[in-house]
Each structure stands twice: as structure tokens, then as C-alpha cells.
């Protein structure tokens, strides 16, 4: 993926050009059709998504708990804490997202702790709700 596109993604915006280049080497872009589940509650968690375009609904036990748009992070709790999805996330509109798989995310954490610090804060905030 193009490292320059990460400049507009809040999770990666504060990184240097060199760091964004490293992230881009560990990430892919995916497109998800409206109505498609991006992650399913209870499933094993293998990757983290960052929404670049579009909107997704987050539900827990069938009840809507949040709506995410560009910059929204999906799957961080499962990948970094529980190893299972804690919610279902469904694309409301077509969604373009950046995906980082678990092993690549771990590798990034070793070289870019600032990304992990931000993810840990997000996890703490979401789990406290």
C-alpha cells in the first residue's frame, strides 16, 4: 500500500514518513460491501482494521452500541487482548479499510510503541464502557 495514504489516518498520522513506510509494508487495503460483517462477535481475532472511507455499525449481542467512520479502529480488543471478537461490526456503506494482521501488528509494536500506546488507550476506553 502507499505510505502517503497513511498520513490522513489518525492512528498513523503522527508517525514519521519512514515509520509510515514501515507500516505500509505490514498492511493491506480491503474494500467491504455495504451489509457485510467485517468482524463477528465471538469469532477468533486475527487482524485489526482501520476505516479509511465509509461507515460501520458496532453491535454487541445484537444491540447497536456504536457507529464508526473514517479513522475508526475495529478489532483491536480481540487482536491485542481477548483473542476473540467482542462485538460484530457491519459495513453500513461500502467501507475501505486498512488491515493489519496479528503477527505484523506485533512486529510494528516492537518498532513503533507509539502506535501501541494509542491502541492501548482506545482499548481501555472501550472496555470501560
Residue 112 has pLDDT above 90, yes or no: no
pTM of the model: 0.87
Domain that holds residue 76: 28-127
Alpha helix stretches (DSSP H) within the chain: 10-13, 17-26, 76-77, 102-111, 113-127
Number of domains in the chain: 1
Is 1 part of any domain? no
Residue 5 pLDDT grade (very low, low, confident, very high; cuts 50, 70, 90): confident
Is 66 part of any domain? yes
Query: Looking at residue 22, what is its pLDDT?
Result: 86
CATH number of the domain bearing residue 110: 2.60.120.10
> Whole-angstrom Cα distance, residue 12 to residue 114?
9
Give 24-63 pLDDT, tens digit per residue.
888 999 999 999 999 999 999 999 999 999 999 999 999 9
Query: Looking at residue 19, what is its pLDDT?
Result: 83
Query: Looking at residue 126, what is its pLDDT?
Result: 77
Is 100 part of any domain? yes
Query: Looking at residue 50, what is its pLDDT?
Result: 94
Give 9-26 pLDDT, tens digit per residue.
888 888 888 888 888 888
Is 10 part of any domain? no
Give 55-79 pLDDT, tens digit per residue.
999 999 999 999 999 999 999 888 8
Q: Quick one: which of 113, 22, 121 has its CA closest to 77? A: 121
Amino acid at each position: 500500500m502507499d505510505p502517503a495514504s497513511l498520513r490522513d489516518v489518525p492512528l498513523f498520522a503522527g508517525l514519521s514518513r519512514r515509520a509510515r513506510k514501515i507500516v505500509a509494508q505490514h498492511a493491506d487495503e480491503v474494500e467491504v460491501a455495504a451489509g457485510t460483517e467485517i468482524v463477528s462477535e465471538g469469532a477468533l481475532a486475527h487482524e485489526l482494521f482501520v476505516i479509511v472511507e465509509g461507515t460501520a455499525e458496532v453491535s454487541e449481542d445484537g444491540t447497536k452500541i456504536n457507529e464508526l467512520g473514517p479513522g475508526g479502529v475495529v478489532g483491536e480488543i480481540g487482536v491485542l487482548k481477548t483473542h476473540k471478537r467482542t462485538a460484530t461490526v457491519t459495513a453500513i456503506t461500502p467501507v475501505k479499510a486498512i488491515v493489519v494482521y496479528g503477527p505484523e501488528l506485533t512486529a510494528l509494536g516492537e518498532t513503533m510503541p507509539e502506535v501501541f500506546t494509542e491502541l492501548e488507550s482506545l482499548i481501555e476506553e472501550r472496555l470501560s464502557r
